[in-house]
Amino acid sequence: MNPKIIHDPEAMQHWSLTERAAGRILGLVPTMGYLHRGHLSLMETLRPQVDRLVVSIFVNPIQFGAGEDLDRYPRDWDGDLAACRNAGVDVIFAPEPAAVYPAEFQTAVSVARLTAGLCGALRPGHFDGVTTVVAKLFNLTLPHRACFGEKDYQQLAVIRRMVADLAFPVEIVAAPIVREDDGLALSSRNVYLSAADRHAALGLSRGLFAARKRYAAGERRAVELAGTAHRTIVDHAGDACALEYLVVCDARSLEEIVTVDRETVIALAAKVGRTRLIDNIILAANPEATGKNP
């Protein structure tokens, strides 16, 4: 069945209030469209947990910095509609920017320490844009549960913090990274990659996998794990992957650690050609206990 399409924020909120009043459990997958298998896995994760599944498609202007790719961000309405239909989505919420941010809009939601490092340090204002829009999307779609991908690991951590700090009655569900068979993490931005860029970009996941292998073999020094990842990336891609950061962090605080003695994330960002890519791998405190990332 075709999903119902709602553009108007008030109509969206009214629909959600009516469904909630009827006792139905609502789920939200927030997206910026150009849906790929990574988004589909978020929908598949949430679909069995809710009575009504809403997908928002909104390229959020305030989370893009000057000189970033807002103007060329890929869009494919027909493809997105077909993907949502196949995934059993009940409602697509696709508001216009002017309806989300009317001229008098002047509020921001900001999470402090968690946004200081990693992508937050390199993209000033980005996470304020994310938390502001996600807070508004929560208020318009009123979900009981919302699903976010571990690919945007810092985003997930920041949204969990916002939800806890501001007591949003929303359960955040995380879904693991979806990768191509050769390891490349799925991203809407992969469409920008030339064949040569794409080959170079493979170095990123290979670097992370090499670090994980050393971790599984008993290495616990963060500097050694980061070094292994770094060398693997350079061996594979030379200078075609320009790393912006490659850090070994506490999976909750996102603070850099010296020894991997707790749940840890190795996270990186790199420019490949003109395209900025991010990737990460989670190391469980007990390596036998994980299997989340291939």
Catalytic site positions: 39
CB of 226 to ligand PAF, least distance (A): 25
**Site membership for ligand PAF, residue 134 (CB under 6 A):** yes
Nearer to ligand PAF, 90 or 152 (CB): 152
Residue 18 CA to residue 65 CA, distance in Å, equals 37
Q: How far is CA 213 from the centre of its chain?
A: 24
**Site membership for ligand PAF, residue 46 (CB under 6 A):** no
Q: How many residues does the chain have?
A: 294
42, 54, 114, 133: residue in contact with ligand PAF (rule CB under 6 A): 133
Gap between the terminal Cα atoms of the chain: 33
**Site membership for ligand PAF, residue 280 (CB under 6 A):** no
Nearer to ligand PAF, 150 or 152 (CB): 152
The stretch near ligand PAF (CB under 6 A) out of 29-37, 96-104, 107-115, 207-215 is: 29-37
Nearer to ligand PAF, 31 or 232 (CB): 31
3, 9, 27, 30: residue in contact with ligand PAF (rule CB under 6 A): 30
Residues of span 228-267 touching ligand PAF by CB under 6 A: none
Residue 230 tokens read as 């770094």
Cβ neighbours of residue 110 under 8 Å, at least 6 residues apart? 127, 128, 131, 132
Nearer to ligand PAF, 159 or 184 (CB): 159
Residue 14 tokens read as 């009214």
Site size with ligand PAF, rule: CB under 6 A: 10
Q: Which of 256, 183, 181 is nearest to 221 (CA)?
A: 256
Question: In the chain, at which residue ranges do the beta strands (DSSP E only) sit?
Answer: 4-6, 26-31, 52-57, 91-93, 145-149, 171-175, 241-250, 264-272, 275-283
**Site membership for ligand PAF, residue 60 (CB under 6 A):** yes
Torsion angles phi and psi, residue 286, rounded to 5? -115, 110
CB of 188 to ligand PAF, least distance (A): 8
Binding footprint of ligand PAF on the chain (CB under 6 A): 30-32, 60, 63, 130, 133-134, 152, 155
